[in-house]
Structure formats: structure tokens, C-alpha cells
């Protein structure tokens, strides 16, 4: 699979020393700035504010007509993760929201809630202890961003689309100016691409990727095609995939693929689904009712209706926002995610992207209308959804629909440093942190395909959903936001960062984008002061300034429980290399563990559950066989373990309530002689046990 790109025009443009002029308009130089920020996202505003704070000139060139991106585009239920690592301008944004909602006049459709009265993701929505607000209305977020740029007197040019064909003027690896389709030219010393799409990055000839890497490429476990992990947001029963049930010759229902794109863990070019984060309300006087779309086809919603027949009862979230509004997002098998409808978005033209936006909006409008009015939908569901409509006082210039598509991923820069799952889990070093992330490694579903169920029937399945916590907040390296110097020596990229698909699944949260936007701006300003390219900036100087400005760069508790297998003596196999039978669940909360995580049996469905560790090419001799687990009072005390070589067999029992005696991590199960076939097998069983069974790693230590 080929998914690494350079812009086609780049080879011709690299020697250009004057700005190309768009065919759409005559070029007009607006001005020259220390830093030009291209983008209208929250990261763009944070970057511009930081530049202004550091006394440099800055301009925001926004392709959007609203500031704030998703933060003002309906995503009010902030995916905050661990809020302790949200600092700087990002934290200031959430503090300013809190200040706004302290006024009773802000509560137009409900009374001001009592102490911390609205729930949020990862904690209280209104956190009076920290004076931050993590749930908010789109219009209030937009006002907050507008207040930022007004306070710092930052010029903003909205609805200015980069001329992606001819709008980047470079002298060698240095960008001199950018030109928009309206003909406006912005000269700058350093440029920041803060768009979700990475258009300036791509148009500047910087290498980027789309799609999913194979697990093997960066030694990951959650990348590539994910059939095995896709257990959430999944169909709950048999759903026939064909237009006429049971008749393949009638064709597939819309947006279903005949087969999966690749094998589990292998790469493909597909991206996770997009949606619109709808702002709904059940307040009648502030509601715009959902109309039937003009191009409505019931066939497009046949999959929804069949999923209802199979047992689906929820279809979206209704996360509460102030004034009886919601942030409504995807939930379960068929929902607001328009799975498969976005594959052409990252590299599509502006016209193609607008068409994709309209398809997503039509899908969600039709989804709501179907749930409210289609007689095949049970009456109790119709009644419940008829209570909801679009908030009349939000997105008033777009029929109360968000204009911002939830671009969960598009392009990702490919630089000298690539953040992977291993960095998030502290298995690789992050030598130059410029911010921290903490959210789940989160990918929404990516494709629908025809699978065969246990009864041999063709049925619909979703693929791609991954929701795995990295275990603790993790640092993000400076190398992730700077391109290869040979490709561009005066740009920073705080949104489409250099990372893998699954690492981006965690990084891609709005608080983190603001953090990285500020860090990119800080690096830009310090580079200008030192007259060096951002790639050559002294990191200690950058770190000092970031800490001074309130950024959080480390979380000392994050790695204390993780023990890399590479640092242990002997031969070690982690649970990821075990052959498991039955459904085991990843864990990382309690005690020490080796590498990524440990797995547990959930203290349920124990019959048939086991984990087999197979060692090959072990030199003949005597070895101490050790197993690791995390102790807890809810663990089993009678866990059977069998150890085998070609010469002998040892049976043992584990009591996992007791702390392992070897460094709080391992316990010895005895000595084993390995024969000439050089093989060892260690198997842990869950059957008949009286509590949670933990499986982490097996270690063979040769006898001296």
C-alpha cells in the first residue's frame, strides 16, 4: 500500500522565489508578518495568541468563516482526558468559559446549576475548584475565541482558502508567502499550519501520510485493520446486508463493502468516520424541527431499520450542555457517523470536500427524521426522538447545523520523528516534550463489510473501532510538529502532527491541539530571536519558555508501574505475544506490569479461557520460570498454571491476592530443564478460579 505523498507541483515550485498568482484573482499583498498562521481552529487561535504575547507580529488566515474549529463547531463535551496536563492558553480558554457562565444572564433557558451541576467527560463539566468549564454552547466558545483575538489585536482574515495549486512561494526549503484563492498574499518569516486537513503542509511539499499503518511498521498493537478490537459500536445481532434479504444478487445496501480491506493488523488507506456534532435542544421555543431531506431515500436508512430490528435502541449521545442543549455524537452500530463517506476528503478539492460535508449533513438529518417519523421505528423510540430539534440560536447562518465537519483525521505529517503507540505507553523515549496528551487511543469505525456469522449467514459488521487508554498522560515530542528541514525550514504543524494513525487517535483532542498550537508558536518566536530554523532551535530554551508560560511537559506518575521487557533479564514474553482463548480484557490500573498492559478474564465466562506462552529457540539448560501479575484483593487464589518442556512438566497454582515477591512484579514457579528441541510452554487457565485472573508476562531466567 502506498500512502506517503509529496505534492505533485512541488518539484516545479521548489525553486520559485516569487509568489504564484491564483487564476481566481489578481494577487494583492496584505502585509508581512513574523508569523503567519493558516487555519481557523482552536490551535490556530492559541498559536496566534502566543505569538502576540511574545511580542511578534502575527496574522490568522482562516479558510473557515468561524473561529475555533470543532470547539466552536458543536464539540462542547470536551474530550479532556486528564485535565491536570492541560495548561497554558488551552487552560485559559476553559477558564474564560467558566468566567462567562458565572453570570446568571448566561443561563437563558435554565437556571444556573448548583455546584458543578453539569457532568463532563473525564470529570465535572463545571469545575468550580479549578475554575474551568468543560461543557459549553458553540456560540459561547466562538465568542471566547473572538475575544482572544480582539484582546491581542490579532488581524484575522476569514473564508480565505489557500490556493493549493499555486499559492505557496518557496525559495529552496523556505516559504516566502502564501496566496489565497481571493488573491490575497501574506508574507511571513515563519508559517504555522493549524488546519485539520494540513493543506498548507501538503502544498508546501512536505511528506505526509493518510490511512492506517500496519502494526509491524512501528511495532504497535492497535494500528491497521482492527476486526478483533471492534467490539464497541457494533451490531448486536444478525443484520442482512443485501437489498433483498437473503439475495446477494440484489446487491448490497448502501455503504457496505463486499469484504474487509485487509487482514487484522495490516495497513490500508481508509480513515475513521466523520460526523457533525449536532447542538440539539428539547426546549420548544428554541427548537428548529427536523425536516425530511429533499433527497431522502428510505433505502439509505434500511440498515438503521434492520439494526433496530436486531435490538439497537440508542442512536446518538445527548451530552448535556448549558441551556438545555446537547453535544450529540455517534453511539452504537448505526448512528451519526457516516461510515465510508469520507475516504476522499483529505486530498479532495474544496468542491469535493463541500459535497462530502453535504452528504454527512443529509445523512444525519435523514437519520433524525427516520427515527422521528418512520413507522418501522417502534413508537416509543419515535416519541423520544420527536422531543429533540436543532437549537434555533446556534449556527444561525447555516440553518442551525454546524458548518464544521468533525475531521477525526486527515493527513498526518511524516517527519524525522514519528509518534507511535509505543511513545504513548512509555516504551520509547520522548526526549523533547512540548505538551502532553492523555485521552484514549480512540478510533471510530472505518468501514462496514460483509462477514459470516456463527450460523454461516452473511451479516453486516463494523470495523475499526478502538478505545484503549494509554494508561497515563504521555509527552508529545517537539519532533512531531516540525517537518524534515530539507523539505521546509520555516513551518510548524501542531494539528496534522507526525504520528501513526492510532497515536493520532489520542492526540487529536481539542485541548491538545491548543497546547501544541501554543508550543509551535513559542518555537517560532524563539527561532526568530535566535535567527535559526525551528529544527535547529535549542530545546532547553524552548522548554524553559513553555514551562514559564504554564505548559505541562511531564507527569511523573505516568511510567512508575511500567517495566519494559527489554530491561528485564533472561527471556521475556509479554501477554501481547500469548495465544489466548476466550475474551480477555486489557488492564493497566493496578500494580506493576510488563510493557503495554496486562489482561484479565473479567471474572466471567471462565470455561475455556486460557493464555499460552510459547518459547522457541531456548538454549538447553535449567531455567527459573517466573510469571508476573498485578496483585489486588479481588484476584483469584487458585489459578492453575502448567509449565512444559520436552523433558518435564510442572503444575502450579497462583494466589494473585499476594504481591509478587520478586521486585513486586514476578513470582517464581520453580525450575525447568529445557531439552534439545529448545521449546517451553507456559499456560495459565481461568476455569474454576475464584476471582479475577491476571495474565501479564512470563520470564525464563537461566540458572548460573
Coil/strand/helix, residue 539:
helix
The dihedral sign for the CA sequence 288, 292, 296, 297: positive
Range in 79-83, 201-205, 523-527, 538-542 the model is least confident about: 79-83
Q: Count of alpha carbons within 13 Å of 385, Cβ hemisphere only?
A: 23
pLDDT at 211: 98
pLDDT level of residue 560 (50, 70, 90 thresholds): confident
Residues 575 and 515 reside in one and the same domain: no
Q: Is 162 part of any domain? A: yes
* pLDDT greater than 50 at residue 1: no
Element housing 141 (H / E): helix 138-151
**Predicted local confidence at residue 24, as pLDDT:** 44
Q: Which residues contact 258 (CB under 8 A, 6 or more apart)?
A: 252, 449, 450
pLDDT score at 23: 42
Query: Of 7-16, 162-171, 449-458, which gets the smallest average pLDDT?
Result: 7-16
Give CA–CA dist 103/361, Å, rounded: 34
Residues 631 and 509 in one domain: no
Half-sphere exposure of 694 (CA within 13 A, CB side): 32
The CATH number that applies at residue 631 is 2.60.120.260
Residue after which a domain boundary falls, among 523, 548, 573: 548
Here the CATH number for the domain that contains residue 477 is 3.50.50.60
Whether residues 540 and 566 fall in one domain:
no
CB 51 within 8 A of CB 524: yes
Q: Has residue 198 been placed in a domain? A: yes
Q: What is the pLDDT of residue 8?
A: 38
* Single residue among 548, 581, 598 that ends a domain in this structure: 548
Structure confidence at residue 310 (pLDDT): 96
Measuring CA to CA, which residue among 237, 225, 214 is closest to residue 445? 225
**Residue 516 sits in the same domain as residue 575:** no
For residues 28 and 103, membership in a common domain is answered with: yes
* Residue 530 sits in the same domain as residue 587: no
pTM as predicted: 0.86
pLDDT of the residue at 471: 79
What is the average pLDDT value for the chain, to the nearest integer?
Answer: 94
110 CB-contact burial (10 Å; exposed 0-12 / middle 13-18 / buried 19+): middle
| Residue 70 confidence (pLDDT) | 98
The verdict on residue 274 lying in a domain is: no
- pLDDT tens digits, one per residue of 618-673: 999 999 999 999 999 999 999 999 999 999 999 999 999 999 999 999 999 999 99
* Cα separation, 602 vs 582, whole angstroms: 11
Whether residue 301 is contained in a domain is answered as no
Give the confidence band of 16 by pLDDT, cuts at 50, 70, 90.
very low
Over residues 297-321, the mean pLDDT reads: 97
| Structural domain includes residue 530 | yes
Domain identity same for 51 and 173: yes
pLDDT of residue 384: 97
Residue 311, in any domain of the structure: no
Pick the last residue of a domain from 493, 515, 548: 548
Q: Is residue 319 part of a domain?
A: no
Q: Length of the chain, please?
A: 704
Structure confidence by residue, pLDDT tens digits, 20-67: 333 446 679 999 999 999 999 999 999 999 999 999 999 999 999 999
- Cα four-point dihedral sign 446, 452, 458, 459: negative
Same domain for 532 and 595, yes or no, is no
Lowest mean pLDDT among 168-172, 226-230, 483-487, 523-527: 226-230
Q: Give pLDDT, residue 230.
A: 83
Q: Tell me: do 572 and 526 sit in the same domain.
A: no
Average pLDDT over residues 140-151: 98
Collapsed DSSP state (helix, strand, coil) of residue 308: helix
Residue range(s) defining the domain that contains residue 145:
4-210+472-548
Q: Which residue has the higher pLDDT, 230 or 422?
A: 422
Q: Stretch 514-520: mean pLDDT, rounded?
A: 98
pLDDT at 562: 82
Q: Distance (Å, rounded) from C-alpha 223 to C-alpha 213?
A: 6
| Shared-domain flag, residues 86 and 188 | yes
Checking if the pLDDT of 556 tops 90, the result is no
Position 5 scores a pLDDT of: 59
Q: Supply the pLDDT for residue 21.
A: 37
Residue 465 domain flag? no
Q: Kindly state whether residues 572 and 653 are assigned to the same domain.
A: yes
How deeply is 86 buried, as exposed, middle or buried, from its count of CB atoms within 10 A (0-12, 13-18, 19+)? buried
62-84 pLDDT per residue, tens: 999 999 999 999 999 999 999 99
Q: How many independent structural domains does the chain possess?
A: 2
Residue 541: other Cβ atoms inside 10 A: 15
The CB-side HSE value for 22 (13 A sphere, CA atoms) comes to: 23
Q: What percent of the chain has pLDDT over 90?
A: 87
pLDDT tier for residue 596 given thresholds of 50, 70 and 90: confident
pLDDT at 590: 80
Q: Does pLDDT of 548 surpass 80?
A: yes
Residues 446-456, mean pLDDT to the nearest whole number = 96
- Nearby residues of 8 by Cβ (< 8 Å), 6 or more positions away: none
Q: Distance between CA 356 and CA 302 in Å, rounded?
A: 21
Model confidence band, residue 683 (pLDDT cutoffs 50, 70, 90)? very high
The residues, ordered by sequence, that sit 6+ positions from 177 with a Cβ below 8 Å of its Cβ are 19, 29, 168, 169, 185, 186, 187, 188
Q: Are residues 60 and 83 in the same domain?
A: yes
Amino acid at each position: 500500500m502506498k500512502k506517503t505523498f509529496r505534492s505533485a507541483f512541488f518539484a516545479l515550485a521548489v525553486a520559485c522565489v516569487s509568489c504564484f498568482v491564483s487564476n481566481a484573482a489578481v494577487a494583492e499583498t496584505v502585509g508581512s508578518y513574523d508569523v503567519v498562521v493558516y487555519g481557523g481552529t482552536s490551535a490556530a487561535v492559541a498559536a496566534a495568541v502566543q505569538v502576540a504575547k511574545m511580542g511578534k507580529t502575527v496574522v490568522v488566515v482562516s479558510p473557515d468563516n468561524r473561529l475555533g474549529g470543532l470547539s466552536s463547531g458543536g464539540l462542547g463535551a470536551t474530550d479532556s482526558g486528564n485535565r491536570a496536563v492541560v495548561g497554558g492558553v488551552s487552560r485559559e480558554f476553559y477558564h474564560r468559559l467558566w468566567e462567562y457562565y458565572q453570570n446568571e444572564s448566561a443561563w437563558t433557558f435554565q437556571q444556573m446549576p448548583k455546584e458543578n451541576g453539569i457532568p463532563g467527560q473525564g470529570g465535572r463539566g463545571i469545575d468550580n475548584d479549578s475554575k474551568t468549564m468543560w461543557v459549553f454552547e458553540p456560540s459561547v466558545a466562538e465568542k471566547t475565541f473572538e475575544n482572544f483575538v480582539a484582546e491581542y489585536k490579532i488581524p484575522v482574515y476569514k473564508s480565505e482558502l489557500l490556493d493549493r495549486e499555486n499559492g505557496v512561494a518557496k525559495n529552496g526549503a523556505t516559504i516566502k508567502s502564501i496566496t489565497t484563492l481571493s488573491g490575497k498574499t501574506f508574507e511571513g518569516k515563519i508559517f504555522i499550519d493549524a488546519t485539520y486537513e494540513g493543506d498548507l503542509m501538503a502544498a508546501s511539499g512536505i511528506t505526509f501520510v493518510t490511512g492506517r499503518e500496519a502494526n509491524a511498521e512501528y511495532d504497535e498493537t492497535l494500528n491497521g485493520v482492527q476486526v478483533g478490537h471492534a467490539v464497541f459500536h457494533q451490531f448486536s445481532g444478525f443484520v442482512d446486508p443485501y437489498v433483498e434479504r437473503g439475495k446477494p444478487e440484489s446487491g448490497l445496501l448502501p455503504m457496505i463493502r463486499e469484504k474487509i480491506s485487509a487482514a487484522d493488523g495490516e495497513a490500508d488507506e481508509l480513515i475513521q468516520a466523520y460526523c457533525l456534532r449536532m447542538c440539539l435542544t428539547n426546549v420548544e421555543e428554541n427548537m428548529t424541527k427536523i425536516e425530511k431531506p429533499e433527497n431522502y431515500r428510505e433505502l439509505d436508512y434500511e440498515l438503521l431499520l434492520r439494526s433496530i430490528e436486531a435490538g439497537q435502541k440508542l442512536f446518538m449521545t445527548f451530552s448535556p450542555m448549558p441551556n438545555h442543549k446537547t453535544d450529540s455524537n455517534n453511539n452504537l452500530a448505526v448512528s451519526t457517523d457516516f461510515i465510508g463517506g469520507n475516504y476522499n476528503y483529505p486530498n479532495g478539492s474544496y468542491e469535493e470536500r463541500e459535497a462530502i460535508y453535504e452528504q454527512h449533513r443529509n445523512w444525519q438529518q435523514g437519520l433524525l427524521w427516520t427515527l422521528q417519523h418512520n413507522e418501522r421505528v417502534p413508537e416509543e423510540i419515535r416519541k423520544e426522538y420527536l422531543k429533540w430539534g436543532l437549537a434555533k440560536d446556534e449556527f444561525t447562518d447555516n440553518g442551525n447545523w454546524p458548518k464544521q465537519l468533525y475531521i477525526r483525521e486527515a493527513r498526518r505529517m511524516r517527519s524525522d520523528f514519528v509518534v507511535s503507540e509505543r511513545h504513548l505507553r512509555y516504551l520509547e523515549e520522548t526526549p523533547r516534550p512540548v505538551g502532553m496528551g492523555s485521552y484514549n487511543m480512540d478510533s471510530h469505525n472505518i468501514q462496514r463489510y460483509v462477514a459470516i456469522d456463527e450460523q454461516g449467514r452473511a451479516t453486516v459488521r463494523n470495523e475499526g473501532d478502538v478505545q484503549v487508554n494509554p494508561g497515563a498522560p504521555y509527552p508529545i515530542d517537539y519532533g512531531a510538529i516540525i517537518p524534515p528541514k530539507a523539505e521546509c525550514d520555516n513551518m510548524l504543524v501542531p494539528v496534522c502532527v507526525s504520528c501513526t494513525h492510532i497515536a493520532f487517535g489520542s492526540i487529536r483532542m481539542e485541548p491538545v491541539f491548543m497546547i501544541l498550537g501554543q508550543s509551535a508558536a513559542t518555537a517560532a518566536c524563539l527561532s526568530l530571536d535566535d535567527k535559526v530554523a525551528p529544527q535547529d532551535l535549542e530545546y532547553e530554551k524552548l522548554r524553559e519558555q513553555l514551562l514559564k508560560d504554564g505548559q505541562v511537559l511531564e507527569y511523573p506518575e505516568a511510567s512508575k508501574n511500567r517495566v519494559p521487557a527489554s530491561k528485564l533479564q533472561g527471556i521475556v514474553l509479554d501477554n501481547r505475544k500469548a495465544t489466548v482463548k476466550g475474551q480477555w480484557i486489557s488492564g493497566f490500573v493496578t500494580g506493576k506490569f510488563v510493557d503495554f498492559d496486562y489482561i484479565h478474564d473479567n471474572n466471567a465466562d471462565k470455561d475455556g479461557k486460557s493464555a499460552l506462552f510459547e518459547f522457541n529457540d531456548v538454549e538447553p539448560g535449567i531455567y527459573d520460570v517466573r510469571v508476573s501479575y498485578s496483585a489486588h484483593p479481588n484476584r483469584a487464589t487458585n489459578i492453575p498454571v502448567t509449565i512444559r518442556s520436552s523433558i518435564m512438566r510442572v503444575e502450579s497454582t497462583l494466589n494473585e491476592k499476594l504481591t509478587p515477591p520478586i521486585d513486586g512484579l514476578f513470582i517464581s514457579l520453580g525450575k525447568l530443564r529445557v531439552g534439545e528441541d529448545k521449546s517451553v510452554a507456559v499456560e495459565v487457565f481461568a476455569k474454576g478460579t475464584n476471582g479475577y485472573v491476571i495474565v501479564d508476562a512470563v520470564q525464563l531466567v537461566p540458572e548460573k
